Each structure stands twice: as structure tokens, then as C-alpha cells.
Amino acid sequence: MTIKITSVILLSAFGMSASPLYAQEKPVEDPDSEVVPEVENSAAVFLEDYSDAFQENFFEGLKQKGIENYDRATHFFLKCKQLDASNRVVDHELAKMYLKTKQYPLAEEYALSAVTSAPENLWFTETLVRILATQGKSVEQIKNDLPFGSSEFKKNLAQIYFDRGRYEIALSILKETKHSPFISNLTSKINDSIAKQNVPTIKSPDALDNFESASNPLKDFKLKMQELMETDDFQQLQQISDEALESYPAQAYFYFAQGYALNRADQHQRAVETLEAGLDYLIDDASLENKIFQELVLGYTALDNAVKANMYLRKIKPGF
């Protein structure tokens, strides 16, 4: 029997939210974008063009990923890879699974495959950047392997680094990108952010190499949040974390701080949603991971969800 069902329905059945992998939104500030969200053709809403075996393995992989059984998920996605060796969506799923299981060279290999197959895909590029950051690598180190001939790729890459607060890297990428209203708009936003943080703009083409020596504009936010936690000023903590996340939406600590404040305001559903979102941006920080897990235990306990509370309780590592 052919499985003709939408990915959204199946994901809902497994208790997971729909992934941006299947409905990619271009940055909203891009005036060149005509369709938002842009639905990806190869694995969009329907998978009717794929064989029964491919669909069964793909959705079983999603199911196993949803229950955090990443080795099993990888097994099913590899079966999909055998059935369709060039499928970029499968490459992306494998990249994420190998990142979760800390097999970074394999994660990078599959992420590169996905990005080179679809350089315009924002989420493929976001995953690659996360994998590189986890290994302490930069895009400059693998520049020859990347589709820098694609203006969409460079625009996405600049947007990702801007969202991460890596302003000088974003500027250096934009300097190599053909002028457009989007480029002008993002360049202006980056320079404004640099000016607000009193971070000097790096003018040289070697911005990628020099970035690590620049000051860190995230430090003040973090110190302020720690101070508010110590003084139990949870209302102000929520306001500061909102402001921080607006400027830096890829910082796991800010999700933790906001979840911490929400739990103490008895907004437990919002707290667990925020904390779980923060886990997606966590990179090799066992101490922060434990803090997030502890808050998730608190939130799910308050929501009378013993299954989820116990799941996160078991994840807490001793000694951190």
C-alpha cells in the first residue's frame, strides 16, 4: 500500500513539530524573496514520488529521531540513502544525526553534500555552520568546498553569522556578494549592531581570521542575567532575555535564562518550549546542558508530565 500522506500529519502523529527542513523560509528582510515560505521541491509537503520502502524508512527515521534514538534514526536514514543516493534531504538528516552522536567528520561530510546540492537552502547551511562551530572550524577553512558561486548561499551564510552575533564574519561575506537591497539592508543592520556594542568594524579582507581577537558583545547580557538570577529579579530577567534573544537567537544560554524566569513565573508550558528550543543551539557545554535539563525537569513536573520529567532527569550528568 502506497503511503500518500503529508509529512506534517505524520510528524504530528509522532508528537513532533514540523521541521523547517520541509518548509524553508528565506530571511524575511530579503526584499528579493517572492515566496515565504518557499516549499522545497524534493521533500516538500508530499512524498508521493518516492517508493513505499523509501517513505517507510524515512518516516521511521523521523520517528526514531523524535524519541531521541539517534542511532536507530541514522540506520533508517542510511537505508533511504541506499534507495536514493542523491537525496539532499536525507543527507541533511544524516548530518544532524551524526552531529547529535558527536561523529563530527561524518556530520560535516553529509552537511557539505546537502549544501552543495542545494546552496540556496538556509537550513542546510545553518546545520553546516553548527557542525563547523562544534569542531572549532570556520567556513574559511573549507571555503574551496563550498558553493561560494551562489549568491543565495552567501546571503544565507551572512544572515546566519549575523544571527549568531558574528558581525565581522558576516560583513566579510557580504563584501564578496553582489549588491542588492538585501545586502544593503543586512550590512546596515550589522554596522548598527556593531556601533551599539562598541565593537570596531574590521575593514580588512582577513576578517574571518581576525574575528576571534575581537571583543565579545554577548558577555554583558550574560553577566546581567546571572546577576538577576542571584537577586531573584525574574521579571527583569525575562525582559532582558527577550531582548537578548531578539538580537542573538542562536545563543543557548539566553534560552536557558528565559526558561528559568518563566518557570519561576509559573509559565511552565512556555518555559519548557523555550528550554527545548535552546537545546538545538547547545554546543559542547555539559554544564549549561545540565542546567537546561534541570529546568525542564522542574517545568514538566509542574505540568504533571512525569514521563518527560523523568526523561530529562536521566539525562543530567553528574559532576557538572
Domain locations along the chain: 1-137, 147-215, 219-315
Q: Fold match between 1-137 and 219-315? A: yes
Residue 174 has pLDDT above 70, yes or no: yes
CATH class of 219-315: mainly alpha
| Helix, strand, coil percent values for the chain (each to nearest 5) | 65, 0, 35
Q: Which of 23-37, 126-140, 233-247, 248-262 has the lowest mean pLDDT?
A: 23-37
Classify domain 1-137 by CATH number: 1.25.40.10
Tell me the sheet residues that pair with 24.
Answer: 38
> With pLDDT > 90 as the criterion, what percentage of the chain qualifies?
39
Q: What is the mean pLDDT of residues 243-262?
A: 89
Looking at the chain, the number of H-run helices and the number of E-run strands are 16, 2
Residue 40 has pLDDT above 80, yes or no: no
Identify the three-state secondary structure at position 223: helix
Contacting residues for 279 by C-beta, under 8 A, at least 6 apart: 252, 289, 292
- 108 vs 192, which has greater pLDDT? 108
pLDDT bucket at 135, cuts 50 / 70 / 90: confident
- Find out whether 3 and 58 touch, Cβ atoms under 8 Å: no
What pLDDT does 295 receive? 95
- 19 vs 215, which has greater pLDDT? 215
pLDDT bucket at 49, cuts 50 / 70 / 90: low
pLDDT bucket at 173, cuts 50 / 70 / 90: very high
What pLDDT does 95 receive? 96
Write down the pTM of the prediction.
Answer: 0.57
Cα-flanking dihedrals φ and ψ of residue 127, to 5°?
A: -65, -45
Residue 256 has pLDDT above 90, yes or no: yes
Q: What is the mean pLDDT of residues 198-227?
A: 59
d(CA 160, CA 143): 16
pLDDT bucket at 249, cuts 50 / 70 / 90: confident
- Find out whether 252 and 279 touch, Cβ atoms under 8 Å: yes
Contacting residues for 188 by C-beta, under 8 A, at least 6 apart: none
Q: Which of 108-117, 145-154, 199-208, 306-315 has the lowest mean pLDDT?
A: 199-208
Residue written as cell 552522536? 101
